Amino acid sequence: MPLSLYDTMAREKRPFVPVDPQRVTMYVCGPTVYNYAHIGNARPVVVFDVLFRLLRHTYGEGAVLYAANVTDVDDKINAKALAEGVPIDVITDRYLGIYNRDMATLGALPPTFQPRATQTMDAIIAMIGVLIDKGAAYAAEGHVLFSTGAYPDYGQLSGRSLEDMIAGARVDVAPYKRNPADFVLWKPSKPGEPMWDSPWGQGRPGWHIECSAMIEQTLGLPIDIHGGGNDLIFPHHENELAQGVCAAHGCEAGHGQDYARYWMHNGFLNFGAEKMSKSLGNVVLVHDLVKQTPGEAVRWALLVGHYRAPQEWSGDLLEQSRKSLDRLYGALRRAADLAPGPCEPAPRFLAALEDDLNTAQAMAELFVLASVLETGDEAARVKAKGELLASGALLGFLQADPEVWFQGDADPQLKARVEALIANRIAARTAKDWSRADAIRDELNALNVVVMDSADGATWRLKEPS
Ligand code: AMP
Ligand code: ZN
């Protein structure tokens, strides 16, 4: 079955046809690096990592170019640098390093390119110059603004008219703007803030133009897929599209498809009734989470619902996710001696993913394969094991040794000691000797071990030092 993807611009699922199947391109808006990433920020990373893997499976590993950018010019970065008394690159290098390590623990492959705004400054300034030359932008009071009135298709992606945007006060009014919806391409820096030379004075770029310039510089136009969270549809992606089209083709209508062929947006991860956000103070940091929980279980939790639907984040979701992986790894552990058949994803699994990344259905298929592995005849089990491993790999799951999944990365002496304690604990519980069972639990705690009971028996992991 051919791949089909929901396109925000078309407002429907469309068969995916890349411009050039030998060079499939995808760009996803990445983090602003001034702090630890929260679990909501990880959702687009994991979702588009699945798409990256699926595209590589379909078109070949070398045929897919994936750029995930980093915003390293921003007011929040400046504020943090000022507070610590260091240059901004000390802040951005530190948090980019942490971000990349945290995303790797969630099984995200490194993107082909990770462009940074500060390293794209020449292309940004050149693009602003082109927009002015084409009459799509104007300089005023040290700023350069995009002229939304010059682009008749403005609002096409988000489905908003200019009047709606102004009436909804979604735009900043400023005296130097010809139209309230016009947005900043370049602005002066305040004293002490980082600044770059430009024909319009020393300053720094607006956020939207950074992405348009990074796309042109790393991938070239048109790209096949542009992704991000659905909070970015307006204004960020609407503005990127307007600039990108006007710079590359001029502002006349009808070039919407010449910037990005498919626009994809993940739904939000919510916490209780609220969206998770730093300003609401209800954030769960990936960095903290993976100290307590295997990254693979966090990844499972992020993929168990459909990527376009909102997802509720909870401890229960995480616990269920770990149990699901226990079940699959348990089946693989019991089949440790069986040589797997050809490592090809199962057809029904692949069909689910190809239907606009139906990960929920694809993950359900993993359980079907695990049941065959446990109960089928010899030939069926051999085939199921190969398919389970290959299907798991396509989603970034089940690649650990099952023994390592269940027992952590402990040294053999500690492992033997923990296992003896767990066996004694089970014996004490069976004998209803609760005080002895509790004493053993305390001893395990002191060894920094978390024991988790599940239908597949007790499993354990080392807590990482916080
Ligand atoms: P930011 O660092 O806020 O610019 O976000 C980086 C990426 O994470 C963007 O693609 C956002 O759309 C996405 N994002 C931020 N918060 C959430 C959330 N709570 N749920 C899902 N995606 C999010
Ligand atoms: Zn962007």
* Opening angle at CA 84, ends 78 and 86, nearest 5: 70
Nearest CA to ligand 1 atom 12: 229
Task: Find out whether 155 and 238 touch, Cβ atoms under 8 Å.
Answer: yes
Task: Find out whether 302 and 345 touch, Cβ atoms under 8 Å.
Answer: no
Work out the average pLDDT over 331-337: 94
Nearest CA to ligand 1 atom 7: 41
Q: What are the tens digits of pLDDT across the range 270-311? A: 987 666 666 666 789 999 999 888 999 999 999 999 999 999
Residue 418 C-alpha to ligand 1 middle, in angstroms? 40
Nearest to 70 by CA among 245, 198, 281, 218: 218
Retrieve residue 101's tokens.
């390590």
Task: Find out whether 104 and 46 touch, Cβ atoms under 8 Å.
Answer: no
Residue 367: pLDDT band by 50, 70, 90 thresholds?
Answer: very high
Rg over CA atoms, the chain: 25
Q: Is the dihedral of CA 17, 21, 25, 26 positive or negative?
A: positive
Nearest ligand to the C-alpha of residue 67? 2
Nearest CA to ligand 1 atom 9: 229
Q: What are the tens digits of pLDDT across the range 389-435? A: 999 999 999 999 998 888 766 677 888 888 889 989 989 998 999 99
Residue 185: its pLDDT value, please?
98
Q: What are the tens digits of pLDDT across the range 240-278? A: 999 999 999 999 999 999 999 999 999 999 987 666 666
Retrieve residue 137's tokens.
């932008």
E runs forming strands in 69-222: 137-140, 143-146, 183-188, 203-205
Alpha-carbon distance values, 216 to 60, 220, 222 (Å):
23, 4, 9
Single pTM value for the model: 0.89
Q: Indicate if ligand 1 lies below 6 Å from the C-beta of 231.
A: yes
Integer Cα distance of 6 and 223 in angstroms: 16
Residue 460: pLDDT band by 50, 70, 90 thresholds?
Answer: confident
Quote the mean pLDDT of the chain: 92
Beta-carbon contacts of residue 309 (< 8 Å; ≥ 6 apart): 267
Integer Cα distance of 208 and 214 in angstroms: 10
In which order are the strands placed within the sheet that holds 64-68? 64-68, 24-28, 223-229, 260-266
Residue 445: its pLDDT value, please?
86
Residue 167: pLDDT band by 50, 70, 90 thresholds?
Answer: low
Q: Label the pairing between strands 311-313 and 4-7.
A: unpaired
Cα-Cα-Cα-Cα torsion 299, 302, 303, 309, nearest 10 degrees, comes to -170
Q: What are the tens digits of pLDDT across the range 5-60? A: 999 999 999 999 999 999 999 999 999 999 999 999 999 999 999 999 999 999 99
Nearest CA to ligand 1 atom 2: 31
Q: Is the dihedral of CA 327, 329, 334, 339 positive or negative?
A: positive
DSSP codes, 64-80? EEEEE-BB---HHHHHH
Residue 279: its pLDDT value, please?
64
Q: Indicate if ligand 1 lies below 6 Å from the C-beta of 276.
A: yes
Task: Find out whether 68 and 48 touch, Cβ atoms under 8 Å.
Answer: yes
Residue 260: its pLDDT value, please?
98
User: What 3-state class would DSSP assign to 257?
Assistant: helix
Q: Indicate if ligand 1 lies below 6 Å from the C-beta of 456.
A: no
Q: What are the tens digits of pLDDT across the range 169-227? A: 556 777 889 988 999 999 999 888 899 999 999 999 999 999 999 999 999 999 999 99
Nearest ligand to the C-alpha of residue 47? 1
Q: Indicate if ligand 1 lies below 6 Å from the C-beta of 35.
A: no
pLDDT over 50 (residue 465): no
Q: Indicate if ligand 1 lies below 6 Å from the C-beta of 40.
A: yes
User: What 3-state class would DSSP assign to 218?
Assistant: helix
Q: Indicate if ligand 1 lies below 6 Å from the C-beta of 29.
A: yes
For the chain, give the number of residues. 466
Alpha-carbon distance values, 385 to 11, 32, 35, 176, 404 (Å):
39, 41, 41, 65, 18
Residue 447: its pLDDT value, please?
84
Nearest CA to ligand 1 atom 4: 31
Retrieve residue 41's tokens.
């920020």
Integer Cα distance of 212 and 139 in angstroms: 19
CA distance from start to end of the chain: 46
Q: Indicate if ligand 1 lies below 6 Å from the C-beta of 69.
A: no
Residue with tokens 């705690």: 445
Q: What are the tens digits of pLDDT across the range 67-91? A: 999 999 999 999 999 999 999 999 9
Nearest CA to ligand 1 atom 1: 31
Task: Find out whether 5 and 14 touch, Cβ atoms under 8 Å.
Answer: yes
Residue 409: its pLDDT value, please?
60
Residue with tokens 């190969």: 386
Ligand 1 atom index nearest CA of 29: 10
pLDDT over 80 (residue 360): yes
Residue 466: its pLDDT value, please?
42
Buried-exposed string 24-36: b where 16+ CB fall within 10 A, e elsewhere: bbbbbbbbbbbbb
Nearest CA to ligand 1 atom 11: 229
Integer Cα distance of 2 and 6 in angstroms: 13
Q: Indicate if ligand 1 lies below 6 Å from the C-beta of 41.
A: yes
Residue 411: its pLDDT value, please?
75
Ligand 1 atom index nearest CA of 270: 19
The better pLDDT of the pair 373, 168 is held by 373
- Count how many Cα atoms sit within 13 Å of the Cα of residue 153 in the half-sphere of its side chain: 23
